[in-house]
Every structure is written in structure tokens, then in C-alpha cells.
Amino acid sequence: MAFTFCASQCSEEKPALSPESLESGFVTPPDSIQTSVYWYWISDHLSKEGVVKDLHAMKEVGINRAFIGNIGINNLPFGKVKIWSDEWWDVLHAALKTATELNIEIGIFNSPGWSQSGGPWIKPEQSMRYLTSSKTTVKGPQKISIPLPKPEGFFQ
């Protein structure tokens, strides 16, 4: 029964979207679109003011879900807001309160560090990746085919 319902929902024809509605959805994504980010609190460098500004900036660009991960970077000295300290809990509370006001969902990693993606058991080729970007400016409307710049260094 559930399969039949699902199949009938999938086969239902949806009206075509206009170019204008597609464009407005990119420019101002509705809250129903779940745009998520990993939000790393790095090496104990955080403050109430900083997390509130971060959340407002996220909302401004259409992000409505963030996963907080407390991580340390080896060559970065640690800050003063130690995880699980009273000040850390105050910062977390400010983040959760602000996120609620902005309708941003918050998730929190299960422990400090690279608990979901790293450790001595992870081979380098299995570890987290960095995201790189490039920029190519084109003028439209026209159909073009041009190669995009390749990432440099160790990027694939």
C-alpha cells in the first residue's frame, strides 16, 4: 500500500516552473529548502556576539540548518572559551536562542574533535576534503561550452 502511494506521488505531473520563479528561488531560497552547513567552532575561539553575527549572516544567504562541531586546528593556539565551560554553555545558549528566532535548525556533533570524520584510523584519502572554487564570467543569453579553471595544488 505504501509503495503504491509513493509511486502515485512520484508519477504525478507537476506544473512547469517559470524562469522567473526559478530565478527567485535561487536568489531568495524559501525556508522549505534545507540549505545546511557544518559550522565549526575552531580551537575555542568563539563569543556570543560572534555566533549571533554568524547566524544572521547564514540567514541572509539562505542557510537554515547548521551543525555545530567543536574542533581544534593543530597550528592554531587555543582560545579562552573551553568546551563544556560555563562560558561555552552561555555561547551555545545564545546560538540556540538566536537560531530559534531566525528559524534555523541546529545540530551538534556527538563529541569535540573530528568525531565524525577523522582520527588515527582514517587514511588520508578517506579524510575530509576542502572545497575550492573558481570564477568564470559569461554573458547571456547564449549557449556556450568553455573549460572551467582546474583547482591548483592537492585539490582534485
Please report, in tens digits, the pLDDT of each residue of the chain (156 residues total): 444 444 444 555 666 778 888 888 878 777 777 789 999 999 899 999 999 999 999 999 889 999 999 888 878 889 999 988 999 999 999 999 999 999 999 999 866 666 656 666 667 676 666 777 888 888 888 888 988 888 777 666
Q: Which helix (H) or strand (E) holds 102?
A: helix 86-102
Alpha-carbon distance of 107 to 71, in angstroms, equals: 15
The reported pTM is 0.59
Domain residue ranges of the chain, discontinuous segments joined by +? 35-110
Architecture of the CATH domain 35-110: 2-Layer Sandwich (3.30)
